[in-house]
Structure 1
Amino acid sequence: MKFLTDFTKLSKVIAGVIVLGYLVQLIAPSTRGVLALVPGRFLPCAWNIFTAGLLEVHFYKVVFSVLSCLALARLIEPVWGSSEYLKFLAATNVATGGATLFLLYIFFALTHYSEKSGDLLYKEVSGFEGIVAGCLVAIKQIMPDNEIMLLTGVIRFRAKHLPSLFLVFAVAGSFLLGTAVSTVPFVCFGTYFAWVYLRFLQYKPELSARGDPFNEDFRFASFFPEVVQPPVDKVAQVVGIALRLVPRSPTRAAGGFVPGAAPLPGSDDADAARRRERGARALEERLGARKPASVPVSTNVDIEAPLAEDRTPQVVSSGGEVS
């Protein structure tokens, strides 16, 4: 039983939910239409945006999902805490399910008269791959330079490349196994929305700000090969400028600050300067550049010594000299 004690309680609960969902749909196949994401029957079963990301219908995927859930939570949850980790999983899962639903509707609308697209509208889509992809993005942020070795060191790569490698192999494998309809959007959207949450929305109490906008190794282009990173950076820059034109609350504005960005329309120079100063200070603290200076503490003896000298009684000699 020591094997089970090495994992967090939350990860064991999620793993139990995956196994339970697999057994339920195995015993009663009709439950797939309620728990899986079916675009044509989304209403009134709106909850399947959430449950679809926890439902597996293939045994080999159940094994992969359970092992991934236990292993990844063991690395992430101690760093963030159970509450923040659960919030991250829920946000990534719901956003992935909603985006997948929207994509399937768009695809159906574009090919409305195709018999194949009609089947797609009532296809049961589910899988834990979106959450796994999101957790790998979290690993990329937490421990980007950790080296991972496979096959006794024959294959080596850094943890920051895990999301991209998983996306490539998951998409390629889904076409071979015939599960591309659910795997491709879940993996792609899971990777993207996990990055959005960690980059812009996750609250950092130690910095009193949101997101991780100063980490160069965590920018959007870092998920792509180095050859195409420059053009991706330019596209992301244009999108970032467009997003900054949207009015935001002061807290979100502080968390979404980008160094060198122009002030928002309607804001004064003083407010923009304060935002730049806060952003620069948060960056220095995050990189550990600013260390608290050691301030010598004066003791009572140090303070009272000169005062005691001044209070020394002066004796005037008969010759008029002061001793």
Structure 2
Amino acid sequence: MKFLTDFTKLSKVIAGGIVLGYLIQLVLPSTRGVLALVPGRFIPCVWNIFTAGFLEVHFYKVIFSVLSCLALARIIEPVWGSSEFLKFLAATNVATGGATLFSLYIFFALTQYSEKSGDLLYKEVSGFEGIVAACLVAIKQIMPDNEIMLLTGVIRFRVKHLPSLFLVLAVAGSFLLGTSLSTVPFVCFGTYFAWVYLRFLQYKPELSARGDPFNEDFRFASFFPEVMQPPVDRVAQVIGTALRLAPRSPTRAPDGFVPGTAPLPGSDDADAARRRERGARALEERLGARKPASVPVSTIADIEAGVAEDSAQVASAAGEGPLE
């Protein structure tokens, strides 16, 4: 059983949940309407915005989802930790489910005069592809320059291209298999919201900052072919500036501090004022604890007697008599 010990506990729990959900809907098909995302029954079944991302109804997709979960979590979870990895999965899954639900409502509104438009509201939409796409974006950030070789080196590509390749293959395959209704929005929104979370929202305690805004290999245009990256960059900058999400150019101060990121410790005005106040209070306490000792008052006679005594000692050391 060494094969199972190579994977993280969290990934095995998620993989077990995928298998369990598949078996439950297989035995009780009515549970699909409760666990899958059904736009017409979203209220009161609001939880399906979360459970839909873990529900698979096809056996071949169960195998793919389980293997993907175990393999991808094995790379990501040791780097981030279980709590951060779980937070990432939950945030991207809920955002993907919400965006998918909204897009289905929009699509229904645009096609409401079609004969089959009413069926769209009661389609059962589910799949693990959105989480797989999100995990591939995380791996793109963690190890972008690593190279993958297939067919003994005949096919080579870098890890940073994995999200884009998966997006293209998943969308093309969904149209061939007839699962485009759930696969296309899940994969597209899973990729996008994973990038938003990692680019702007993920908190990094070692840096006391959020996101990864200055990584050139992780900008939004990096998900597109190189020919399309310059125009995508321009559009992303305009939209990011309008939404106050895009950072300014990463000009660095001589000490390496990047403007626009979290302030350096002690650089905040309020923090500096508090530090000065604490320093002044500590100085007063130290001065109060060290009271100067009283200095005896010397008279002129005492001074002359001391000078005479010193002269006598010097003469005695030189072998002479006392000075008269």
Q: Would you call these one fold, judging by a TM-score over 0.5?
A: yes
Q: Which residue of 1 aligns with 2:293?
A: none
Could you list the structure 1 runs, at least 4 aligned residues long, displaced by more than 2 angstroms after superposition.
277-282
User: Among 253, 258, 263, which residue is 2:247 paired with?
Assistant: 258
Equivalent residue, structure 1, for 2:259: 276
1:172–1:281 distance in 2 versus 1, CA, 3 Å = farther
SS of residue in 1 equivalent to 2:259: helix
Cα separation, 1, equivalents of 2:98 and 2:231? 28
Query: Secondary structure of the equivalent of 2:227?
Result: helix
Matched-pair contact (CA < 8 Å) for 2:92–2:131: yes
Once residues 35 and 89 of structure 1 are traced to their aligned partners in structure 2, the CA distance between those partners, rounded to angstroms, is 18
Amino acid at match of 1:158: R
TM-score by length of 1: 0.78
Quick one: distance in 1 between partners of 2:157 and 2:95? 29
The CA distance in 2 between the partners of 1:279 and 1:218, in whole Å, is 20
CA distance in structure 2 between the partners assigned to 1:243 and 1:257 by the alignment: 8
Preserved contact between residue 11 and residue 69 of structure 2 (Cα < 8 Å): yes
Deviation at 1:102, TM superposition (A): 0.1
- Partner Cα separation in structure 2 for residue 277 and residue 231 of structure 1: 25
Alignment of 1:103-142 (within 5 A): 103-142=103-142
Encode CA deviations 1:175-231: one digit per residue, 9 max, x unaligned. 000000000000000000000000000001111000000100000000000111111
> Deviation at 1:277?
6.9
Count of aligned positions = 262
Q: Is the 8 A contact 1:52 1:127 kept in 2?
A: yes
**What secondary structure is seen at the aligned counterpart in 2 of 1:226?**
coil
Matches within 5 A, 1:1-323: 1-244=1-244, 258-260=247-249, 276=259, 278=261
Change (3 A) 1:280 1:167: farther
Contact 1:257 1:279 in 2 (8 A): no
Output the CA distance in 2 between the equivalents of 1:140 and 1:260: 22
CA distance 1:281–1:230, change in 2 (3 Å): farther
SS at match of 2:174: helix
Letter in 1 for 2:107: F
| Deviations, residues 101-127 of structure 1 (Å, cap 9, x unaligned) | 000000001111212221111100000
Displacement, 1:258?
1.6
Cα deviation per residue 1:42-88 (whole Å; 9 max; x = unaligned)? 00000000000000000000000000000000000000000000000
Paired residues of 2:247 and 2:260 also in contact (CA < 8 A): no
Structure 1 residue 279: deviation in Å? 6.3
- Per-residue deviation at 1:260? 3.4
Residue 283 of structure 2 corresponds to which residue in structure 1?
A: none
Structure 1: distance between partners of 2:217 and 2:17: 34
Asked whether the equivalents of residues 22 and 57 of structure 1 are also in contact (C-alpha less than 8 Å), the reply is yes
Which has the higher Rg, Structure 1 or Structure 2?
Answer: 2
Identity %: 85
Cα deviation, residue 275, structure 1: 7.5
SS at the partner of 2:157?
A: strand
The one-letter code of the counterpart of 1:65 is S
Give the match's secondary structure for 1:153: coil
8 Å CA contact 1:200, 1:210 repeated in 2: yes
Q: Which amino acid aligns with 2:247?
A: V
Unaligned runs of 5+ in 1: 245-255, 262-273, 283-316, 319-323
SS at 2:145's partner residue? Answer: coil
Distance 2:52 2:165 in 1: 24
Gaps of 5+ in 2: 251-256, 266-316, 319-324
Cα offsets for 1:216-267 (capped at 9, x unmatched): 00000000001111110011001111111xxxxxxxxxxx672339xxxxxx
Confirm or deny: 8 A CA contact 1:37 1:124 kept in the other structure.
yes
The CA RMSD over aligned residues, in Å, is: 2.0
